[in-house]
Amino acid sequence: MLNRRLKIMALLTIMLGVCRLFAEPINGEFKTVASFSHGDKPGQLVWNATLSGGVPDGSFQGPMAFLTDKNGNFWIGDTLNARIVGVGPDGKPQKEIDLLAAGKALKLASDVVLLDLVPGRHGRILVADAANNVVIELDVRGKAEPRCFRSAPEGKGHWQQINRIHSDKYGRIYIEDLPSMRTLVLSADGEPMQTLEGELSLAVNPDGQVAMLVMDTQDLNSRHVVISPVHGRPVEKAASIMSAKPVMWAAALGFYQGKQLCVIHDTEDFRYFSFFNGKHSLEKTVKTKFVDPGYDPCRPEWIGLDGRVYMAKIASGSLDILELKY
């Protein structure tokens, strides 16, 4: 009798786990929280537009990267204006950083073309410069001169092309190099530390743990979340995403509140945002309709430190920042 009860309890535990994994997603919707007009004045942004008012296909047609800081302020990589724009939660301008001036101070060969930006440590921002293939460190407070980290001619510190960058609380810099199919890790002073072979489309938490999604060749309806147990260690399977329909695309959106993780996956019908706690258990999944950003930024969607998900969209002569509501 005892063995029978234990078997029933075990079966119920498994069933509850499966039910939780396949729990009905929460319906969500992106709603506008800030809007920007076209121009080069404070609080405006620049993007390319056709005669019909649309934006041409391809990258570098508008602002390429966005982030939200701990106070809810937005930082926008206004690529075509060669600047970073800082605005409050209400969308009102608060600060601008001139990237052309930074490039001249660093004696770069070409004008800076911002591809990506992430927060650094001690009030700094890191910028991936696609034109010069370098990482630029800027002091938001203006107390320190800009610094520049370049690719080594060859060997451990060499990258072919920056695609995305990340950083952690120790100031380490993670450079995704898509042509080489690897991510390079630099120290806070730009010294090469490690190469993560085959690891791309990453999320990096403050402790330097990296996460990514990998495909299951035996099951097109799932993706596996892999996370390094500690900084510098190989990634290990931590969780899985199960879908009722084949997964067309998936990626790690980012960490929030330390070690909690949000990942995205698409089916032919919807986009899903899955939120995992620090122990890699699925907390909730939010389902949304597809929202076309209108162009091809490096970070069309991003997550704030508090777990709020945002995206950018260009339409009808304005650029909007939208927040996922559910």
Q: Using one digit for the tens of pLDDT, what is the confidence trace for 170-187?
A: 999 999 999 999 999 999
Give the pLDDT mean for 125-144. 96
What pTM value is reported for the model?
0.91
Sheet holding 124-129, edge to edge: 114-119, 124-129, 134-139, 147-150
84: which strand partners?
77, 97
Q: What is the mean pLDDT of residues 7-30?
A: 60
CB-based contact 27:289 (threshold 8 Å)? no
* pLDDT score at 1: 53
- Judged by average pLDDT, the poorest of 15-19, 96-100, 206-210 is 15-19
What pLDDT does 15 receive?
43
Distance CA 137, CA 118 (A): 10
Buried b (16+ CB within 10 A) or exposed e, 15-49: eeeeeeeeeebeebebeebbebeeeeeeeebbbee
Top CATH class of 26-320 equals mainly beta
CA 16 – CA 28 distance, rounded (Å):
24
**Is the pLDDT reported for residue 44 higher than 70?**
yes
- Give the whole-angstrom CA distance, residue 179 versus residue 217: 23
In one letter, which amino acid is 104?
Answer: K
Two tokens, residue 291: 């929202």
Residue 15 CB contacts under 8 Å (≥ 6 apart), including other chains: none
Strand duo 222-227 + 236-242: pairing:
antiparallel
For the chain, what is the mean pLDDT? 92
Residue 52 is predicted with a pLDDT of 77
Burial class (CB in 10 A: 0-12, 13-18, 19+), 61: buried
